[in-house]
Amino acid sequence: MVPINYGGRIESRGPETYRSQSLLDTIFQATGLENFQGSAVVIDLMSGPGGIALNLQKKASRHSYAVLDYDQEQLAKIGEHEPVNKILADVRNVSSVVKGESVDIATARYGIKDIPQGQQLQALKGINEILRPGGVFVLTDMISLEGEGLQRWLNIQHSQKQQLSGREIEKEGECYIPTEKEWLAMLKEVGFEAEVFGYYTSPISTGDWLTGNQFGNPKSPEAARKKAIMDEIIMNAPEGVKKAFNVRQGVNGMEIDYPVVIIRAVKKVAESGLPTAGDLYAAS
């Protein structure tokens, strides 16, 4: 599902977006944890080294936190002293490892887009199933811009980068970055009431991918060769693409701005009149 060397990636040396406090703060606000009455069960899906869960825990420590990722090496980067439960699993099978309707808040950042298009609904359906009625899912991910050739170029570019990072699309399938409308439509289809909570611009440099070990050992000639390939792909983008994504030459390589959406999706409540997780939120 993700590149072979995913476990060796180092977020602290990669793109700034993984450390952006403004983005972390927006995700926290979208969860509603600040106003949640009682103790919530929170799970960070496709967590990597747990940046989202650890930030939420620092801001709202009374709740219970878990992280889920299919890569043991990434989960091992979370210190044993950290107050989070680690779950080694594929998000596409989340409903088989997490009890149904047992979670109040779920988050996923920059992960669902890397699931093949035909399997994204499966993952979102499973996330819906583990949430209590009225529970909240905060999706933070890239969006393809609507416009002539923009979505196609972005997906080709991202797929090429993933393949250079070790992804074997013949075995794992190809990643797919939906438009904002497609994200919202998928969430609605699996049983969420979803709305855009905010936007974020993620500036990326090909040099970030190199230093973050996304092409392997950043000091190796092979990693430098892969970076050069991505520099050329981005540099030779059509003029309309360059304008839409603010493509420019930077100090450490080509730079590009990726549009990101933060969506707050609430699991629909059955018309039973019974209390739900949503009832536990204090009035704003």
Residue 212 lies in a domain: yes
Decide if pLDDT at 1 tops 70.
no
**Percent of the chain predicted with pLDDT > 90:** 88
Q: How far apart are CA 85 and CA 48, in angstroms?
A: 13
Look at residues 64, 140, 131 and name the one whose alpha carbon lies nearest to residue 266: 131
pLDDT of the residue at 271? 65
Quick one: average pLDDT of 82-89?
A: 96
For residue range 253-273, list pLDDT tens digits in order: 999 999 999 999 999 987 654
Q: Which of 238, 237, 125, 241 is nearest to 187 (CA)?
A: 125
In 3D space, the residue among 222, 220, 234, 263 whose CA is nearest the CA of residue 124 turns out to be 263
Residue 282 lies in a domain: no
Task: For residue 8, tell me if it sits in a domain.
Answer: yes
Name which of 1, 15, 12 is nearest 202 in CA terms: 15
* Strand ranges inside 36-116, DSSP E: 41-45, 64-69, 85-88, 103-109
Selection from 195, 177, 256, 242 nearest residue 17 by Cα: 256
pLDDT at 115 over 60: yes
Q: Is the pLDDT of residue 276 over 50?
A: no
| Per-residue confidence (pLDDT) for residue 10, from 0 to 100 | 79
Residue range 202-216, pLDDT digits in tens = 999 999 999 999 999
Confidence of residue 223 (pLDDT cuts 50, 70, 90): very high
Residue 79: CATH number of its domain: 3.40.50.150
CA 274 to chain centre: 32
Q: Taking the model in full, what pTM does it have?
A: 0.92
Q: Write the pLDDT tens digit of every residue in 42-84.
A: 999 999 999 999 999 999 999 999 999 999 999 999 999 999 9
C-alpha–C-alpha distance, residues 116 and 121, integer Å: 10
Residue 284 in any domain: the answer is: no
Domain count, the chain: 1
At which residue do the structure tokens 């390939």 appear? 229
Q: How confident is the model at residue 227 (pLDDT cuts 50, 70, 90)?
A: very high
Mean pLDDT, the chain, rounded, equals 92
Identify whether 99 is part of a domain: yes
Tokens standing for 282? Answer: 């204090």
Higher pLDDT, 282 or 144: 144
- pLDDT value of position 157: 97
Q: Cα–Cα distance between 28 and 138 in angstroms, integer? A: 9
Collapsing DSSP states into helix, strand and coil, what is residue 93? helix
Q: What angle do CA 2, 44, 161 make, to 5 degrees?
A: 25
Range of the domain at 106: 4-271
278 lies in a domain? no
Whether the CB-CB separation of 68 and 111 falls below 8 Å is answered with no
How many beta carbons lie within 10 A of that of residue 223, not counting itself? Answer: 19
Supply 224's token pair.
């430098």
- Answer with the residue of higher pLDDT: 8 or 215: 215
